[in-house]
Amino acid sequence: MLHIIVSAAVGIIGLIGVSFLVRGILKADPGNELMQKLSKSIQAGARTFLLTEYKVVAIVVILVAIFLSLAPFFGQGVQVNWQTALAFVVGVCGSALAGWIAMSIATRTNGRTTQAARSGLGRALNLSFSAGAVTGLSIVCVAFLGLVIISLVFKGKSVIVNGYAMGASLMALFARAGGGIYTKGADMGADLVGKVEEGIPEDDPRNAGVIADNVGDNVGDVAGLGADLLESYVESIIATLAIAASMVLISSSYRPLSYLPFYLASWGIISSLIGIAWIKGVRIKDPQSRLNSGTYLGAILMIAGSFFIIRYLGIAYENYSVLGPFWAIIAGVISGLVIGEVSVYYTSSKYKPVKDLANSCQSGPAVMVVSGLALGMHSTLIPVVVVAAATLIGFLVAGMYGVAIAALGMLSILGITLAVDSYGPVADNAGGIAEMAHLPPEVRQVTDKLDAVGNTTAAIGKGFAIGSAAFAALGLMTAYRATINSLSSHPFSLSLADPKLIAGLLVGGMVPYLYGSMLARGVGRVASGVVEEVRRQFKEIPGLMEGKGRADPSQCVNIAAQGALKNMMLPGILAIIFPIGIGFFLGPVALGGFLVGSLVTGLQLGIQTANSGAAMDNAKKYIEEGNLGGKGSYAHKASVIGDTVGDPLKDTVGPSINILIKLMAVISLVLAPVFVIFH
């Protein structure tokens, strides 16, 4: 029970930290009337979207909950029932709540950050980072507290607790896919009419699509990213718990293995809080160094603390040393940092890859796009090797349990890493508001500086999201294997000699491609809808172009929201149906192969699309800074096309694939008892 009490206390401490941060933000000056109005429209748009999204998701959630509740009718001995369904619903609500808090604060901080930027970089950074910290902490604490409650109520029974993770995962899928289609559909739609057809600048209030574009940053990069990492976080814990549960069946002396995740996660929250306090308090001028120092502090604290926790629990199992899990945690933390740094190398204009890419723009858009795609493909090398190595190390030092605990190590300090990652969209919005409110150029310079740092942290965040997704999925697969073997009288071998496994691998490898293609098409459809509406307003609203009439951004917001939700349904449902279908018809072995197959291609595709897109974006910015002829040059035109190709890749396809592989793995884990009965 001690682990539950400690966890609950830490979760509450974290939320108290959130309330302090929120108070600090709300005290700040919200700026002049126009700025407040702009901030409010963004807020209203984001709220509209999330509410609509939650309504749509509710239908799917109810259907899935009914399905889970009916599971006992599939056969005798199936342990999945209404309790799993309940945990599932709690998981959905937890993720939705955390996303709502993050979005509400982010959209309230954007205008205040603009105002703070009038009195200098330091204050603006402080404020926007506070919003990031609220996102990071509230997501981690809400998710963790929910898990603690479910564990307490249902006495830690894996088959029920897993349902909680499945809920978080399903919500994440729709948040990421819907948010991704929304943000890029609105972005492309607004640009295609505004910049290309009418020749007015970006973020111009005459363009009815501009607010939708700014809303997109919040629903995609704040709520979407948050839900994604919340899912990874929850799953890394429950995967460890599920493996521990299967080991407890062997010997009850292994029980402390299922306490360890709670202690580690609790300490991770404390480490994050200290790191956040450090960033807010320290006097380092350079924003990037300031943020980095906090992250590294958190990582060091985490590693040091976990040493003592693991020694104190002192669990020796099989042939592994007591400190085995500690080494696994180090492997996890370090590989998370390495993957982030590799993303920066491939996507920052400071380094060779993006510079070369910018050079290739001189040979025209086609060469640029091919080079950008090739860059992303090349960037998969190190992250994949790092994930493979960490998996090997985790197993070597602590067995199956070690693989899961490496994932947990990577994600334990999510509070601080997510805080750093998600301050970017706030800074981005702040810049947009500065532009729309016609503030002096110095303000924009400050927000631009913050935004540039935000781009780098966003790249790290994306790398981290993919790496952690791979680890979480590996942990879930390990848990899946342990579960099917603990449930069945005949062990499943999951050997490559089994053609069902091979068939599963091949089909699983195809799903990320199919899913990605559906999302990419969705973005295209939403963009056309926004284009038509913006065009209509320019035509029908008298005096709009001359600045006399007023554009109605709410129409575009609605179109983007409806379109995003419509286009996320089919891929979302496929992600649920595929693993269930494979599990029922081809059995648990094929499903095991299917999950691994989806991980193998999903990891590649996720890294490639994220890095290709970010690199093309930054190559464009590099040219816009005045290199290679600057704005308006032939190279610049090519880079704009490349950037537009990269946008849906990096912000819609790539991030959603992380969730796809996790969701399919967690569904398989939850329904494993059903599939085992059938085969």
Span 319-378, contacts to its own copies by CB under 8 A: 360, 363-367, 369-371, 373-378
Residues 254-293 that bind its own copies (CB under 8 A): none
Question: Phi and psi of 443, rounded to 5°?
Answer: -60, -45
CA distance to 108, 364, 585, per residue, from 119 (Å): 19, 42, 64
Give me the least distance between CB of 300 and its own copies, in Å please. 27
Give me the least distance between CB of 478 and its own copies, in Å please. 8
Give me the least distance between CB of 567 and its own copies, in Å please. 12
Task: Assess 573 for contact with its own copies (CB under 8 A).
Answer: no
Closer of 274 and 520 to its own copies (Cβ): 520
| DSSP, res 257 | G
Closest among 430, 426, 428, 442 to 111, alpha carbons compared: 430
Nearest-angstrom CA–CA distance, 635 and 627: 10
- Tokens read off for 374: 């090739």
Residues 489-528 that bind its own copies (CB under 8 A): 493-497, 499-510, 513-514, 516-518, 520-521, 523-524, 527-528
Give me the least distance between CB of 674 and its own copies, in Å please. 20
Residue in the structure block whose two tokens are 């070690």: 402
Closer of 307 and 513 to its own copies (Cβ): 513
Closer of 420 and 505 to its own copies (Cβ): 505
Which of 138, 608, 618, 658 contacts its own copies by CB under 8 A? 608
Residues 64-103 that bind its own copies (CB under 8 A): none
Closer of 63 and 514 to its own copies (Cβ): 514
Residues 626-655 that bind its own copies (CB under 8 A): 641-642, 644-645, 648-649
- Tokens read off for 274: 């200290």
Residue spans of beta strands (DSSP E) within 275-433: none
Residues 141-200 that bind its own copies (CB under 8 A): 188, 192, 196
Closer of 259 and 327 to its own copies (Cβ): 327
CB 599 within 8 A of CB 473: yes
CB 161 within 8 A of CB 154: yes
Give me the least distance between CB of 243 and its own copies, in Å please. 12
Give me the least distance between CB of 668 and its own copies, in Å please. 13
Catalogue the long-range contacts made by 366-369 (C-beta closer than 8 Å, 24 or more residues apart): 367/638, 368/616, 368/619, 368/638, 368/639, 368/641, 368/642, 369/616, 369/641, 369/642, 369/645
Residues 576-595 that bind its own copies (CB under 8 A): 592-593
Closest among 614, 331, 575 to 467, alpha carbons compared: 331
Residues 401-460 that bind its own copies (CB under 8 A): 403
Give me the least distance between CB of 196 and its own copies, in Å please. 7
Closest among 80, 2, 265, 173 to 669, alpha carbons compared: 80
Give me the least distance between CB of 350 and its own copies, in Å please. 21
Give me the least distance between CB of 504 and its own copies, in Å please. 8
Closer of 129 and 471 to its own copies (Cβ): 471
Nearest-angstrom CA–CA distance, 46 and 103: 7
Residues 385-404 that bind its own copies (CB under 8 A): 385, 387-389, 391-392, 394-396, 400, 403
Closest among 351, 346, 352 to 382, alpha carbons compared: 346
- Tokens read off for 498: 């089994």
Count Cα neighbours of 624 within 13 Å in the Cβ-side half-sphere.
10
Residues that contact its own copies, how many (by CB under 8 A): 80
Give me the least distance between CB of 183 and its own copies, in Å please. 15
Closer of 70 and 382 to its own copies (Cβ): 382
